[in-house]
Structure 1
């Protein structure tokens, strides 16, 4: 929590002594626990979680308050285990008086009215606050000590990080009656001061002169990584001269790079504008089949798809995505709360099937 307050030293032989027969047990999380469930109870909390069941986040530099409540008169010792395994002794200290707490009262650090604040300085990651309450004072000389008369906090010296702290504390409480001590733990996370909120997008294509448009704003050419994009989900359009536009939706992740690779198909073959015959049936067939003027015959399914897209766009729909299927083309268009799925498939006997499904969401 306050990593700069402690100058860690090796614990020496105390932490390596055998704890065979010790009353305390050490949990899988390196927390010292009294297995007898004594009458004495202690509850430790951090200021953002009065329930003690959550894992709140604090930013570097943010103020924090640590509180402990006991049901009997007891001496309370508070330790903060940092993500790197180093340990800070919060209580007792020389800033806020002794660590004796009356029954059914709460000791807070800092207390209301104190002319100082206690701030989170890191390192980044998961922190644990261990509270140890005892009916009698504990001798922590082999675990922590005030090195000079000017030190406001005791220096905690543990070999092996939090596991060493738990082992050393188990040695301290070993001579005590089983019903005379108890522990509790609270958790919180330290996050960076300025969390990453932007990401990057790389768009690659197999053709030259392609351009990229994200959420209606033109970014520039393809085969480029665009940085500092706000995290979120956006429509993207990739355009290349002589090819059908490619549209899709991408998710920009904070702190990451989203890759979008567009493989353009065969270039479009220029087809002369169809002659208006005056017959709706002949004009429709002409639009489907295209015109043969020394060029390759246009794909009827693509012609039908493009024509239907234009009709829907005339009705106010915006094309979101186009993809090629095994038998034709499929697309998604949106207008307000309505979504249209368009499927055009080549059928038997030189037929083309156009299927339009509309879904509308209503709020009630």
Structure 2
């Protein structure tokens, strides 16, 4: 049978209640706390978390059970804070009114072999269950009621969610001996029925007219969020007219947005081509040294070689800066070219290209 166990965590402001007796306190973590630390103890768990330290996820309509353990014979009361601020009393209920738990035993609700089950209801969100154990039975008629004859669970007559529940229960427990009651909490999350299976990528740049290419497919302009992307790790290239391409690898996460911010450096001065690639490379290096183009001779040599390979049909996949220069990966069909440019001694630059071709037989 279905119960509305879904509850969005609504943490109230922690504040002490100026009342007599046990002087119950509101706590953001435990809803209501006995500050005297009695020798009575209770623990509450959901079936997907036996430690009580986690926040397991459940789907709507998925069965759930709640277990409690006490160190002394006690009466256990279970409450659930709902996302709209209402609170359900899930034990005792009309299906299983017995809430007496023997010392040093674990009792599960519903019990094994019961003719009903607890089922998670909506909406989605983080939930909180409160277990209140008492050495004597508690009279909850002033704070909870069954709204209709068909209701399986009573509704707590409070406003304010968790804080309202704590204030209502304080009225019930404050007249009791200080060592006769204690509380504990458990968390769980209700996830969407259809889990999110795609992610998003935001690419920001400091220049206009930039374009974004992900995994070899052009997405469009920059400063845009691209959605419905399959999770995984992909190469991305950001290009802007007059600037060197930026290449890296991004990880797309399901249900999340990956942010990539690209700061382009000063524009590259367009080199004057002599028609001879070797002379062009030497000219660019001299220009770099003289300060008439970009400032890094290794980058100038790298960009020149990339252009040469692109003219041969290669596509640049990735560029990475090293401590001595730059390295990049270019692809043409089944051939992968690795380009390495290093600064050497005596103002020299070493350019190396290695190719790997994969054949299928």
Query: Which consecutive unaligned segments of at least 5 residues does structure 2 have?
Result: 8-16, 285-291, 311-315, 331-337, 353-361
Partner of 1:105: 105
- The CA distance in 2 between the partners of 1:4 and 1:45, in whole Å, is 14
Partner of 1:150: 150
1:4 positional shift? 8.4
Partner of 2:273: 271
Partner of 2:257: 256
Partner of 2:358: none
Partner of 2:199: 198
Partner of 1:331: 326
Partner of 1:159: 159
1:158 positional shift? 0.8
Deviations 1:229-288 (A, max 9, x none): 13444321245788754423345454436455575934644624428xxxxxxx6x6742
- The CA distance in 1 between the partners of 2:83 and 2:137, in whole Å, is 29
Aligned CA distance change for structure 1 residues 246 and 121 (closer, same or farther; 3 Å) = same
1:50 positional shift? 1.0
- The CA distance in 1 between the partners of 2:218 and 2:306, in whole Å, is 22
SS in 2 for 1:170: helix
Partner of 1:9: none
Q: Is the 8 A contact 2:207 2:240 kept in 1?
A: no
Q: Is the 8 A contact 1:246 1:262 kept in 2?
A: no
Partner of 1:183: 183
Partner of 1:119: 119
Q: Is the 8 A contact 1:289 1:298 kept in 2?
A: no
Q: Is the 8 A contact 2:6 2:127 kept in 1?
A: no
SS in 2 for 1:178: coil
1:34 positional shift? 2.3
1:312 positional shift? 11
1:172 is aligned to 2:172: yes
Aligned CA distance change for structure 1 residues 312 and 218 (closer, same or farther; 3 Å) = closer
Aligned CA distance change for structure 1 residues 48 and 160 (closer, same or farther; 3 Å) = same
1:69 positional shift? 1.7
Partner of 2:283: 289
Query: Which consecutive unaligned segments of at least 5 residues does structure 1 have?
Result: 7-17, 276-282, 291-296, 357-364
- The CA distance in 2 between the partners of 1:224 and 1:75, in whole Å, is 57
Q: Is the 8 A contact 2:128 2:187 kept in 1?
A: yes
- The CA distance in 1 between the partners of 2:147 and 2:223, in whole Å, is 60
User: 5 Å matches for 1:1-364?
Assistant: 3=4, 20-29=19-28, 31-196=31-196, 197-202=198-203, 212-219=212-219, 226-238=226-238, 245-252=245-252, 254-256=255-257, 258=259, 265-266=267-268, 268-269=270-271, 271-274=273-276, 287-289=281-283, 304-306=301-303, 320-321=318-319, 330-333=325-328, 342-344=341-343, 351-354=347-350
Partner of 2:356: none
SS in 2 for 1:22: coil
TM-score (norm 2): 0.69
Higher-Rg member (1/2): 1
- The CA distance in 2 between the partners of 1:177 and 1:155, in whole Å, is 27
- The CA distance in 1 between the partners of 2:168 and 2:124, in whole Å, is 26
TM-score (norm 1): 0.69
- The CA distance in 1 between the partners of 2:223 and 2:75, in whole Å, is 66
Which 4+ stretches in 1 moved above 6 angstroms? Answer: 221-224, 240-243, 297-300, 307-313
- The CA distance in 1 between the partners of 2:340 and 2:152, in whole Å, is 69
